[in-house]
Chain A
């Protein structure tokens, strides 16, 4: 299975600032996803990032707040912009090569906003 590395693993940020999270995969994958997991909750999909096309955002998430890049088949970034305490969550990168294959997750980025 793909090995997924996320950076940073955790961060504490000030209100109003932005943070870019990196996701590096050890093999080429077709589909990359970004999820948010708020404290004590399950996972919510933010957007799907397929190489060569614009990211597709889920209801309630907008590009201005969560811009995503996908420059190649092994790398993606998620930026959390103009952060507020409500953005304190775990952000997880996930990959899947084809729909009939398992989806795999990174260890996540634990973000706290003061």
Chain B
């Protein structure tokens, strides 16, 4: 069964700290992996998309890595800010035309 897991479910850090969110998937034969953030009462905002042939993607203070062999991806957030507080979701596509399979998300709280 193809599953995506995110640990921890919740994380609280002080402002300015660098942090890592984890995502693991059971089947390493992925097509691509996408990270999203969801603010309360809002839809999902796409952060980064990593194709299966790539090792990492960067956007501003965000860096996402992909290790297919171990079935893991990490989202690194540098110099965290209170505005980063949101739920972060990892999702995997396993084949062309396939659906996104979501993890349960990590709820991040950055304290001023």
Chain A residues with CB under 8 Å of chain B are 1, 4, 31, 33, 41-43, 45, 48, 58, 92, 94, 99-108, 110
Contacts of B110 in A (CB 8 A): none
CA of A33 to CA of B43, assembled, Å: 14
A92 contacts which chain B residues (CB < 8 A)? 43-44
Assess the A99–B43 pair: CB atoms within 8 A: no
In the complex, B77 has a CB within 8 A of chain A: no
Decide if B103 is an interface residue (CB 8 Å cutoff).
yes
Q: Does B31 interact with chain A (Cβ within 8 Å)?
A: yes
Q: How far is the CA of A28 from the CA of B32 in the complex (A)?
A: 22
Closest to B97 in A: A99
User: Is the Cβ of A99 less than 8 Å from the Cβ of B32?
Assistant: yes
Whether A100 touches B51, Cβ cut-off 8 Å, given contacts A42-B102, A42-B104, A48-B99, is: yes
